Amino acid sequence: MLYSPYSLLLAPVPNSRDNCILSLQSEHQVQAIRHNVDPLLSAFQPLRSGKLVSVTTSSSILLPSIPHLYKLAQYPIVIHVAIHPFGYPDYSEITSIRQCGFTFLQSETLREGQDIALSAHALAAKSGKGVIHFFDPANSKNDHPVPVEDPELIKKVLDIDAAAENKSTSTQGSSLYVDEGRRPNITANIDSHAPPDSPTISSLLVREAIVEREAKVTSGEESSIGSSARQSSADSRPTMSSATSISSTATRPVTSEDISTFLSGIWSQISKVTGRTYRAFEYSGPDDAESALFVFGSTGLFVDEILAAKPSDEFAKCGIITARLYRPWISSDLLEAIPPSVKRIAVLEQIRKKTVKWGPVLLDLLTSLRTGPFTADSPLIVGNQLGYIEPATARQALRGIFQNLRSASPIQNLEVGNHQQPRDLLNEYSLEQPKVESAYMKILDQVFGERLHIANRLDATDAGISPSIAANPEFGFGALLARMDHRKKFIGEVQEAATTRDFVTDIPQSWLLKWALSAEDSKKANTLAQEVIARLGTDGSKLASQLLSSKSLFFKESHWLIGSDAWSYDLGNSGVHHIIASGANVNMLIIDSQPWSQRAAADAIRRKKDVGLYAMNYGNAYVASVAVYSSYTQVLEAMIEADQFDGPSVVVAYLPYSKENDSPLTVLQETKKAVGLGYWPLYRWNPNNEGKGEANFSLDSERIKQELEEFLKRDNHLTQLMNRHPEFAANLSESYGTELRTLQKRRAKDAYDKMLESLYGAPMTIIFSSDNGNAENLAKRLGSRGKARGLKTMVMAMDDYPLEDLPGEENVVMITSTAGQGEFPQNGRAFWDAVKENAELDLSQIKYAVFALGDSHYWPRKEDKIYYNKPGKDLDTRVSFLGGKRLTDIGLGDDQDPDSYQTGYSEWEPKLWQALNVDKVEGLPEEPPPITNEDIKIQSNFLRGTITEGLEDLSTGAIAASDQQLTKFHGTYMQDDRDLRDERKAQGLEPAYAFMIRCRLNGGVATPSQWLQMDSISSSYGNGTMKMTTRQTFQFHGVIKSKLKSAMRGINKALMTTIAACGDVNRNVMCSSLPTQSAYHRDVHQTAAKISDHLLPATTAYHEIWLKDNNDKQTKVAGDAIVDHEPLYGPTYLPRKFKITIAIPPHNDTDVFAHDIGLIAIKGSSGRLEGFNVLAGGGMGVTHNNKKTYPRTGSMMGYASAEKIHFICEKIMLVQRDNGDRTNRKHARLKYTIDDMGADVFRSKVEDLLGYQFEEPKPFEFKSNIDTFGWQKDELGMNHFTFFIENGRIEDTADYPMKTGLREIAKVHKGEFRLTGNQHLCLSGVHDDDLDGIMEMMKKYKLENVQFSGLRLSSSACVAFPTCGLAMAESERYLPQLITKLEDCLEENGLKQDSIVMRMTGCPNGCARPWLAEVAFVGKAYGAYNMYLGGAYHGQRLNKLYRSSIQEEEILEIIKPMLKQYAMEREQREHFGDWVIRAGYIKPTTEGKTFHDDVAEKESDDEA
């Protein structure tokens, strides 16, 4: 893992086995760790798992890591340390930890760095001890690059077998701070038969033997200690064979001598292959030198000067000694390195942080040369302290060193060079706050403005203090205490001044007295401060000038300290304790950035504390847990309350990210997981509330309130166990969800087994993995058929099945569909991962069969054909590999077959019955037909079903499947948060069910009071945001079941409704926003409302279910007590949804060609509405790769007058009601009805019902289908402003408080809010008298900005993830990012202001009407999209497939050159959609039925 010296955390690199030299059987991982976390903690977990760990870092982390180093030294970890700071290194960090038990190796050049790094890893693997390899990167900055080392040499030096043996040893530590007793050992031979008087084998002889043995490894020679000793014995020393008889072995701790021995052997191997030699102490210079330098620091400058020395120089013919092996310090190796001729040694130590008089290296040399048998003729040793030396003064410095060395009385501890770091190197790097964390800083600035004072702000200037220290929270706390003390004294000075007569007038005194009485009240003090300063400014007295010199102190500041989750660990938590214990009125914002998805990989005993809980237990602090990407409003409340609290405040803020350039989407997804699963609950705790009679604790993460309560109850049950065994506490709490999930699986399986005990016949276990329900339905149907044939069948989802039972099964049938890029569906992924990874799973006793569902054309490119039915094929291959015996060959269901997957299934199932010997069973019962949507509608008693009972069922957040279809008619869809599916399942929880509510808003027009009510509903019942849809209405997400009825009543209170906003009925009628012609718009809007009301369902079920209170006894909901009548729809309503829109030329901003009925308004000579051209048969829904489905533009029926139009819409709908396909919902829309019967026949049927014919259509012209942004004036002199609302999402963010701004405007606005068909908003009817006030509010909330690229202004996206159950890929959350990556290209090619219509949807159902865009991206799988080109700019021509299943990199590679070519070749006023056709990129789509013809990328028909 990498330890970066900057606040940068990189996402873990995916595990890979490519190019892994150390062990081809193991996976390796690279991980970066933030600078601010407790250092080296992350190394413990992999080390304890038996992995070899390498750390790359700067020396700045070594001292904070001292508590861990002594323990880490007993593991084979390698720490590569760059001496810090760059340019003026300080080796004191190395000397300070020299006794921690690590081996220390030093390198000086790039070549040495590579060799010593290799040596360090080999030594760690052989010795089992930690190695620190340190180097000064500035010393080698001018070195030439070195080639990559020979892999064969690396393999030999590392000794893979030894490394594997070491790696296989894992330990289970209980604490980071308790000695586990681990000690690296070495195995030695023992002579058990040696006579008592036999001579002792010298340690030197053993060392020589081991060295020679190590050297022979490279040549593959067999060796032993005995043989190598005999071969190396050239004197009278006894041989190993004569001295002893080896019969047993024993282990002993690794010693310093062993380290030296291992290292000598490693360097011997490197020397044999490369010729490069290394020794524990390196000497360079003449053999007869009399003087030498022992340098512990950067040697580059001195080496260059000594090599270039003239014979007359004082330092000519001198040598240089460096420590290659610094620890263990082997005195004998040092003596061998120093030539006997050396009489004087100057020791240069580059250590800036001196704690004792004598340098540690000087003491090491004195100990080696002045003790023991070496004192007789030892050299003179003179110590020098090496500072910063300019290259130009290196020669002068050397001269001074040697003059002092050769003097009769040399000066000890002579300082050489400048010991003050040069100013240009003082800030050699600047600390920067990660950009993603700026959200909280912006909120602080917004809330407190000039009052805000962040004591440890990164850009603060503190004279003489380095930026890293000045940004330190502890430094900031000290600065705050001083600042508060200064203001306290200032208040006293003001109080004294208010009683004097030293002012020119008496006016300042009264103001000063008022201020002094309110000095600690921020609101009053800051209000009075301006007045006080103004009065003092006009007084002119000396005292007034004196007070004005500190005028900033008149303001009561909001004091903040900003910290990170490093404060949650032991080393940083002491600072938190100090602040809380002080009781000072200081606010702490602690940003925790650990992603929820990475918390499982964290060491459970890292001792990361819950700072919020810690502060609450202390009792005197305000505490809040917030997450800006979950609840912006709660962050605001918490910060305001923290500021108002008189005492310490702790705001723990969640902002998970893996790298600083993580997208907001990534941060949002991680936040939702953490908050949604209770890992990061949102709450506020104010100990002062108790005195007010209010609750201290307020839980703000509403949706998980009940689950959190259950979690707390579970915690209470575990408290005693955790207290008795604190080392298991983290494991108990974090593994609870996993254990619960395992228990659920076991109980479900046992229940099935018990149920089957009473049955006869062979057992058949059916497990399925299903995304859209097809595989699940097949499995359940197969189970029913198996029971009918006498088999004991059990049907379960793969992830619900306990894998440990699989080897004991007799017959197993596995059915799986295909998700994404050949992936298992969500409820089968865990099962597949377990089967794939478990090499010991023995399935030799089972018989199995596999059926797979997929689409052979879903991935059209030949290289992607492997994805076709990949999960089923992989499962079949794996089970066979593990010993399973096939009952029959794998069955493959293909959506391209005539009957879809049923074609393949009908061939496969009989073979299965035959293999099980139940194929000839007679008297099988007739299977009931599957329940269809038509059945649900006709049995629903006019849309009632069991909705009321479902709402009252508190055991689940969901409702019944049939009710899910019926609630659509009531304007609400049941969904679940797909960001949380996997995590909640792992926790043993049901999906995070919630409901989407869609309003019915005729023509998209709302009053200010309605806007305020919608805003309130979104905050009180939804997820805090509003979505403006492509059908001009409001949509709310995240409404849980218990709040659904309240939300519906709130909408009704605003005189709005949700009935028929969804479902198989006529939905919301759209109308152009037309801000420039208000009277004309009023005519058209009234017609839209008339059509909507005329086609509204007549059932009273909506009123009964949602609006009547509990005391209403007049109406019964269930049974046959009510018999409604639907004069237009009948009991089965329409075959499919039905949509109507009105466009007002020249603006086609509602995409009039894309709907079942499109009405083109025709203006009369009076300037008012005259009638409509009528289009019928438009529609957007498509199924990927199903060419029987396609989008279609509406066919012209003719013209009709305005007063008749609602009847015409009715008759068109009735023809569809009676002739639409009710057997196949994919073929049920009006577009297919018209194509099946022909447009002329369809027109005649409508005319038959009308009793008259359509008139000839009137001429019209469309010029655009996008909105016109900014201010416009209508014919009545009223003002209208169209806001750019990207993808229609109304929300508050730290950068853009849009929702708040629109709410404040709605409070004063007197006109209308018009929602546009492109998801934007028009503020209509602003009188000139109100214009300035509105504009000022818009500026305050940044709402006036419409200066975006033409591409962004013309873009649109559907919701997709995380709430849409049909989404295959991101849309709303991703399209803005994609456009950002294209805007530089647009700028470069002069296209920034050009409108290009780009749309994106997460699936092919077409909610954002992508098939009419000039460029469209339609989700195919997560991260993969189909790209379509050639739609008409005015919305009248469909586009066509250009590329299939491409990801972002390919998208950018394709579209950037295309945009450049368009900029160069386009004709005047030629739009992009027209140009791609003229340029030959795509062929035009002439009608819906040719949508799939002549596509640019042909689908391959080759089999996978």
Among residues 87, 88, 86, 80, which one has the least CA distance to residue 124?
80
Q: How far apart are CA 442 and CA 444, in angstroms?
A: 5
Helix (H/G/I), strand (E/B), else coil: 221: coil
35 closest CA partner among 471, 453, 464: 471
User: Which tokens is 1287 given?
Assistant: 């993808």
b/e per residue, 186-220, with b = 16+ CB within 10 A? beebebeeeeeeeeebeeebbebbbbbbbbbbbee
Amino acid present at 1357: A
Question: Do residues 261 and 372 touch, judged by C-beta distance below 8 A?
Answer: no
Q: Do residues 872 and 828 touch, judged by C-beta distance below 8 A?
A: no
- DSSP-assigned letter for residue 28: B
The DSSP element (H or E) to which 424 belongs, if any, is helix 423-426
Kindly give, in sequence order, each residue whose CB lies less than 8 Å from that of residue 968, ignoring residues fewer than 6 positions away.
1062, 1063
1145: which 2 tokens? 């030329």
Cβ–Cβ < 8 Å for 1078, 1324:
yes
Written as one letter, the residue type at 354 is K
Residues with catalytic annotation?
Answer: 998, 1067, 1137, 1139, 1358, 1364, 1403, 1407
Instruction: Tell me: cis bond preceding 184? Omega within 30 of 0 counts.
Output: no
Q: What are the start-end ranges of the H helices in 518-644?
A: 522-539, 542-548, 570-582, 596-599, 611-618, 632-644
Residue 251 burial by Cβ neighbours in a 10 Å radius (0-12, 13-18, 19+): exposed
Strand 1026-1028's sheet: what is its strand order? 972-976, 993-998, 1034-1039, 1026-1028, 1289-1290
- What is d(CA 798, CA 744) in angstroms, rounded to the nearest whole number? 13
Beta-bridge mates of residue 78: 54, 131
One DSSP character per residue, 959-1025 reads --HHHHHHHGGGTEEEEE-TTSHHHHHHTT----EEEEEE-B-GGGEE-HHHHHHHHHHHHHTSSS-
Of the candidates 1073, 1074, 1222, 1205, the one whose C-alpha atom is nearest the C-alpha of residue 1134 is 1222
Give the whole-angstrom CA distance, residue 1165 versus residue 1154: 28
Q: What is the DSSP string of 381-405?
A: EEEEEE-B--GGGHHHHHHHHHHHH
Residue 204 makes CB contacts below 8 A (sequence gap 6+) with: none
DSSP output for 36-104: TS-TTGGGHHHHHTT---EEEEEGGGTGGGHHHHHHHTTS--EEEEE-SSTTS--THHHHHTTTSS-EE
Phi, psi angle pair for 1250, to nearest 5°: -75, -35
Rounded distance between C-alpha atoms, residue 688 and residue 699, angstroms: 16
Distance CA 999, CA 263 (A): 76
Residue with tokens 């019964």: 1116
